[in-house]
Amino acid sequence: MAAYDFLYPVVLFGAILVATAITSKVLSFIIKGKFKTWAPVVRANFQRLVSITVWIIGLLFAVDQLGLRIDFFLLIVALLGIAILLALRDTLDNLGAKYFSDVYVPFKVGDIIKVANKSGTVIEINPIATVLLTDNESLVSIPNSLLLKEKMENITPHIWKEMLFPITISSDINLPEFESEILKACNNLRKYLDERFPPVLTIKSRSSQTVELVLTLMVKKPDKKNEIIKEINLKISEIEDRMRRKVT
């Protein structure tokens, strides 16, 4: 009887963890299938958010089965969270703004922007601030949080045409082949794009796990921009899926 009392919660704990893992995978798969036209970076982050949420709920349930008090545990986690948020409020503000500016890419290094009565060429974007070089060759540091609060104007010539697609692929994927497939997919949308600026894929960074890329396209007419963004995101997802399947 004693062995049963001990083993039952442990088995239940394990079963909940397994169920959590399966639920997380299934939801991730559903998100991937349902939101193919979203920017790949946004979709990946949404998947991650849902996965973390599922795991937190699953862990709480699992810990509950072991007979441990989760209310005290939750209180400590919440207090720690509040303390971290208060201590790093300004930094997190900037980091969050940097995250959103990465996702929506309103400007990049080399662009000329105007924000909070300052204008200049963007020469650096770091996690805290964006650095501008002004016409009189002085440096202006704009906190990233300000870029979300203030009206920001990108005055680079032809900038309205530009569409940047951040892409993250596994480093196992054959990059030359992936690039070639992406370019061929973009070629099919040529009539909507400015012919003087063919698609360009640039490597932003790479690690042993992933390669961060940006696809740059220039649209011909602004009214088609949204449709093209959806179409290109869809193509990127399809190509990435196909190539990942090849690897596995």
End-to-end CA gap in the chain = 47
Nearest distance from residue 190's CB to other proteins, in Å? 5
Nearest distance from residue 201's CB to other proteins, in Å? 8
Among the listed residues 41, 42, 39, 98, the one whose alpha carbon sits nearest the alpha carbon of residue 226: 39
Binding mask 157-176 for other proteins (x = CB under 8 A): ------------------xx
Count how many Cα atoms sit within 13 Å of the Cα of residue 26 in the half-sphere of its side chain.
7
Is position 242 an interface residue for other proteins (rule: CB under 8 A)?
A: no
Q: How many residues bind other proteins (CB under 8 A)?
A: 16
Is position 198 an interface residue for other proteins (rule: CB under 8 A)?
A: yes
Nearest distance from residue 178's CB to other proteins, in Å? 9
Identity of the residue, 126 or 180, whose beta carbon is nearer to other proteins in the bound complex: 180
Among the listed residues 235, 225, 230, 231, the one whose alpha carbon sits nearest the alpha carbon of residue 182: 235
CA distances from 178 to 53, 154, 208, 237, 245 (A): 32, 31, 17, 11, 13
Phi, psi (degrees; rounded to nearest 5) at 112: -105, 120
Is position 214 an interface residue for other proteins (rule: CB under 8 A)?
A: no
Using CB under 8 A, list all residues that contact other proteins: 175-177, 179-180, 183-184, 187, 190, 195-198, 200, 202-203
